[in-house]
Amino acid sequence: MDADELIETFEFLGDWEERYRYLIELGRELPPLAPEAHVDANKVRGCMSQVWLTHTVQPGPPVTLEFQGDSDAHIVKGLIALLFKLLSGKTPQQILETDVNGVFERLGLESHISMNRRNGFYAMVERIRHMAADPAFAAR
Verify cis geometry, omega within 30 degrees of 0, for the bond prior to 61: yes
Q: Among the options 23, 26, 44, 47, which is catalytic?
A: 47
Q: SS in 3 state form for 94-133? A: HHHHCCHHHHHHHCCHHHCCCHHHHHHHHHHHHHHHHHHC
Is 47 known to be catalytic? yes
Compute the distance between CA of residue 64 and CA of residue 7 in angstroms, rounded to an integer. 24
Q: Which one, of 117, 61, 118, 67, lies nearest residue 95 by Cα?
A: 67
Q: In whole angstroms, what separates CA 137 from the centre of its chain?
A: 20
3-state secondary structure of 69: strand
Catalytic residue numbers read 47
